[in-house]
Structure 1
């Protein structure tokens, strides 16, 4: 005789899982979630379909989720802002990495110059701090 998964004791747990469900509801997802809650290895869709109370509650919840999605207006401005935030966060990460690499390069150059013989760091700093020559691009 097969093991009875949904009993008078576990039916309220299964119904509670349906009540708190958010997102896309499918029999496979629900069966997977319910298996975790009940501590079972795996529950098949066909097993769940054999319980009329569960089928009715499932269909009601699925319908209410669909209606909730229809009633929720899509805020295009908010979606656009989220996209822009994501783009800018990625840009900040990239620029921070680039900045770190440039700092490492500067430290490496400074270290190598200090190790070179006959390099006068004072003269080098004076030359490096000189402003760039002006360029007349109209000629």
Structure 2
């Protein structure tokens, strides 16, 4: 039976991909092993399980195809002192994370437009859409 991942698990896996070393080849098998070792999810989720989650799949695809500018930086990085290599690695990871977050944000905005259209189409008012969520009573 496929393992179900919590929102926190998904966030941790995406974060793991954000900081995946550019020097290490990314494969689904290596990602599953890293999840098991670093996130201590035992048994580790399978490739098929991971691919079902859009955030993980998008982060994986983004990490798998780094930009050409990053590939040029890898060659330059080999000539840098150790302290600058560390800084460069961190900058590259943050740039990759930023690109992933921008893509996720664009996808969420597209989803919002669809919801906005459907709300208008089915006669939901702004007032109804802005109603606060009901609080559960603790009785």
Alignment TM-score, normalising by the size of structure 2 = 0.45
Task: Normalising by structure 1, report the TM-score.
Answer: 0.45
Q: Which has the higher contact order (CA 8 A, sep 6+)?
A: 2
